[in-house]
């Protein structure tokens, strides 16, 4: 249980600050899917988007992502986390 709480604390620390969330221009990024995959290579956007959309997106299609730095930090946190214990 302690390790799970440590993970949740780490997760909360990488989240975008509330004041930044109010400023959409600060967290809004529109770019081709292929570029997004290059910027955050450890996050499987193809798998993620396939679970949400009725068709596969081409790497040249534009996508909008909020809080791109969060995804970068999230993948690093997940890589450093023991999958069984949560920390």
User: Which has more pLDDT, 19 or 62?
Assistant: 62
Please report the pLDDT score of residue 18 as a whole number: 67
User: Which has more pLDDT, 32 or 87?
Assistant: 32
The residues facing 29 across adjacent strands are 65
pTM: 0.71
Whether residue 20 contacts residue 27, with contact meaning beta carbons closer than 8 Å, is answered with: yes
**pLDDT band at residue 39 using 50, 70 and 90 as cut-offs:** very high
Distance CA 16, CA 23 (A): 11
* Neighbouring residues of 47: CB distance < 8 A, sequence distance ≥ 6: none
Question: What ranges do the domains of the chain cover?
Answer: 2-77
Please report the pLDDT score of residue 35 as a whole number: 97
Distance CA 80, CA 27 (A): 25
């Amino acid at each position: 249980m302690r390790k799970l709480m440590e993970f949740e604390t780490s997760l909360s620390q990488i989240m975008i600050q509330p004041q930044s969330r109010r400023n959409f221009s600060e967290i809004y990024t529109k770019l081709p899917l292929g570029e997004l995959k290059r910027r955050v290579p450890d996050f499987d956007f193809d798998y993620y988007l396939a679970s949400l959309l009725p068709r596969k997106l081409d790497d040249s299609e534009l996508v909008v992502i909020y809080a791109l730095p969060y995804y970068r930090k999230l993948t690093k946190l997940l890589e450093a986390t023991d999958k069984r214990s949560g920390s």
